[in-house]
């Protein structure tokens, strides 16, 4: 058994495993908040649009400023340590080790 290693393209961390052949692993950096490093909470989108986005209501966002710090259907994880919370759409990063 030899060591294989690769660098995560997202966080730059070097991942090493013992493996006889090149192997693809997933880096878990997508689960950690890029702002504070805390482990984020998996975000479950509420598919009822009226609970988080009311585009049909002209009073919802009269100045069209609601583009940041807002959950979307792409959101996978959320860190509640910030106001507004940090929403992440980063999925698992595959890293080839060889």
Least separation in angstroms between residue 26's CB and Zn ion is 9
Q: Which stretch binds Zn ion (CB under 5 A): 16-24, 41-49, 58-66, 71-79?
A: 71-79
Name residues whose C-beta falls within 8 Å of residue 61's C-beta, 6 or more positions apart in sequence: 55
Cα 56 versus chain centre, distance: 28
71 binds Zn ion (CB under 5 A): no
Is residue 96 close enough to count as binding Zn ion by CB under 5 A? no
Q: Does 78 bind Zn ion (CB under 5 A)?
A: no
What are the residues binding Zn ion (CB under 5 A)? 8, 10-11, 27, 29, 33, 35-36, 38, 79, 81, 93
């Amino acid at each position: 058994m030899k060591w294989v290693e690769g660098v995560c393209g997202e966080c730059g961390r070097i991942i090493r495993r013992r493996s006889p052949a090149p192997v693809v692993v997933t880096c878990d950096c997508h689960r950690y908040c890029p702002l504070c490093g805390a482990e984020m909470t998996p975000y479950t989108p509420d598919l009822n649009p009226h609970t988080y986005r009311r585009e049909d209501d002209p009073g919802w966002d009269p100045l069209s400023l609601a583009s940041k710090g807002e959950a979307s259907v792409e959101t996978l994880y959320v860190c509640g340590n910030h106001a507004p919370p940090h929403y992440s759409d980063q999925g698992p990063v595959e890293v080839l080790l060889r």
